[in-house]
Amino acid sequence: MKLGVALSSTAHAAVLAWGLLSFTAPAPLEVADVEALPIDIVPIEEFTQSVQGDKKADLSETPAPTPTKRPDVVENAENIGESKNDLKSEPEAKPAEQPVETAKADTPPPAAKPTPAPKVETEVPPAPEDTPAPTTEMAALNDPAVPITEETPVEEATPAESSEQFASLQDVSVVPTRRPEPPKPKTAETTQRKKEEKPASTKSASSDKKDPAVTDEIASLLNKQEPASSGAKKSDQQASLGTRKPSKGGKLSASEMDALRAAIEQCWSVPAGLADAEDMRVTVTIRLTPDGDIEGSPEVQATGGESGARRAFAGSAKRAVQKCAPYSLPKEKYDTWAEVVVNFSAADMF
Amino acid sequence: MNGISILAVSAAFAQGVESGGLEAAGDVTLLGLFLQAGLIVKLVMIGLLVASIWTWAIIIDKIFLYARTRKQLDRFEEVFWSGRSLEELYRSLADRTPTGMGALFVSAMREWKKSFERGASSPMGLQARIEKVMDVSLARELDRLERRLGFLASVGSVAVYVGLFGTVVGIMTSFQAIAGSKSTNLAVVAPGIAEALLATAIGLLAAIPALVAYNKLSNDVAKIAARLEGFADEFSAILSRQIDERNAKQG
């Protein structure tokens, strides 16, 4: 027994010694001395949703619309712009101003008397009502204009314009005023006026390069709306890339969806005794007004099942959706629930 | 009582962690783990270590003993079946204290001789006495061979639980250390858990060899016992024949 104890003790001592030597502390983890990197976790929505800004501006850190110049602050203004009143929609272009502007714009090229005339005359189609008084002499003067105008029904209007040009040449400050009386020989039907616009615009395209004033004018003609100046909110930051009206990016939360679902479920009286209804599906698409009322009549699409049962099922679904209106949904997220698709499935009922 | 002591230990441990700081927490060497451990865990570890030492001592002892015993059996059988007279054999063995088959043989021969010297003539009684004496001798021999094997069995089954107990206590204290330092930092927890697991490791280290050795050694003992019993039966048969022959001569 002594031998055993001695051998065992020495063996254990050896094992322990080996353990003490081998089970040393692990090598310390070497950490390079680098500066910590700040990491932000940002939701992808920040990038996928458009931000308020200017379409043509460069992208910058903070979203900002085109800066405004008006110094005074309108309280509770929500829309960016220069106007005094906070308007949501942009105002219509004012047609009354245009003849004045065009007349002014046309004044700079006075040197070439006969040649620019045909150009100018075509550029000003929306002013056919202007005074046609000295038509006859000027038409005779502007020989090259004649063949063109003969092709189009503008003929009466164009000489009128050119004559006006020349009148304004003599007296630059005189602004041609509109006269209520349309010229007699002119064919005043609207259809013809529409036609006359086409050649006018083609011509103007050819003359674009020469006259910047003219291109401006065309731009103002084509773009019937005034550029961004509807709201009254101030913005003094550098414009950033974005859209004028940013998407709110809201979506109905799960609880709101559940509330909607529960509301519709309560209104739904399931038709009794449906045969083979497991695979029937009805999709009801409704458009909602901001008040939550249904706009128009719901679109119903039903699939599966027998035709009779399907019809009954689709009818019940439609009635349920109509019965529940108006829905109370968060107004600020109207964009997301303007159109709601409700799926009715019979499979869940069995 | 036990609960109070555990709490006291844990408080000491928590203090150790707080005052020891990071250096103590980082010490995960074998000795460091042992020194950091609470009193109960230390006792468990020491107990398991002693048990392991004793287990291996028994294993080594028994292995040598059984090897020796088998050799003796072989030699005795060789001598016994060599055709020497039983008287001669008895005389050569009686002086020293024999083991194994020798012990059986000597005890049976002694009873035989005594019976004839005193002139006891009942053959049936003599036969029964010889068998009884041999049984006693066999039991004594087996007891000598099997002594301390029970300890191996105990260690094999209990050491795991003892180690587990040490682990549970150690983990309890390390959780109390978390509560004390109000930090779930792994550096606070890891040494405590490592030290606690060390107890289970030592327990397994003691239990596995003990269990394996117990199975092997008890198997060896069974084999030796079978050989001894076989010899006892054979020898009693020989003696019984002798008794009958003598009775026939006398009668």
Which residues in chain B are closer than 8 Å to A16, comparing Cβ atoms? Answer: 30
Across the range B107-119, mean pLDDT stands at 82
- Inter-chain touch A25–B29, beta carbons under 8 Å: yes
Amino acid identity of residue A179, one-letter, is: R
CA A170/CA A187 separation, integer angstroms: 29
- Has residue B214 got a pLDDT over 90? yes
Instruction: Answer yes or no: pTM beyond 0.90.
Output: no
- Inter-chain touch A9–B53, beta carbons under 8 Å: yes
Is the minimum CB–CB distance between A7 and chain B shorter than 8 Å? yes
Percent of chain B at pLDDT > 70 equals 87
Is the minimum CB–CB distance between A3 and chain B shorter than 8 Å? yes
- What class, spelled out in words, does domain A254-349 have in CATH? alpha beta
**Chosen from B61, B62, B217 to mutate, greatest number of chain A CBs within 10 A:** B61
Q: Are A318 and A300 in contact (CB under 8 A)?
A: yes
Which residues in chain B are closer than 8 Å to A25, comparing Cβ atoms? Answer: 26-29, 32
Closest residue of A to B25, CA-based? A25
Which residues in chain A are closer than 8 Å to B30, comparing Cβ atoms? Answer: 16, 19-20, 23
Across the range A11-25, mean pLDDT stands at 85
pLDDT at A134: 47
pLDDT at B112: 84
Q: Where are the domains of chain B?
A: 2-250
Q: Where are the domains of chain A?
A: 97-222, 254-349
- Inter-chain touch B29–A4, beta carbons under 8 Å: no
CA B93/CA B106 separation, integer angstroms: 7
pLDDT at A65: 65
Band of residue B17 on the pLDDT scale cut at 50, 70, 90? very low
What is the residue-averaged pLDDT of chain B?
A: 82
Task: Compare A180 and B215 and report the one with higher pLDDT.
Answer: B215
Band of residue A329 on the pLDDT scale cut at 50, 70, 90? confident
Q: Give the pair of three-digit tokens for residue A256.
A: 């709101």
Taking 3-state DSSP, the helix, strand and coil percentages for chain B, each rounded to the nearest 5, stand at 90, 0, 10
What is the residue-averaged pLDDT of chain A?
A: 65
Selecting from B27, B28, B60 the residue whose C-beta is nearest the C-beta of A8 gives B60
Q: Give the pair of three-digit tokens for residue A347.
A: 């499979």
pLDDT at B50: 93
pLDDT at B96: 78
The CB-based long-range contact list for B140-144 (8 Å cut-off, 24+ gap) reads B140/B103, B141/B99, B141/B100, B141/B103, B141/B104, B141/B228, B142/B221, B142/B225, B142/B228, B144/B99
Count of CB pairs separated by less than 8 Å, A with B = 49
**How far from the centroid of its chain's Cα atoms is residue B220's Cα?**
13
Phi, psi of A281 (to 5 degrees): -135, 135
Q: Are B56 and A4 in contact (CB under 8 A)?
A: yes
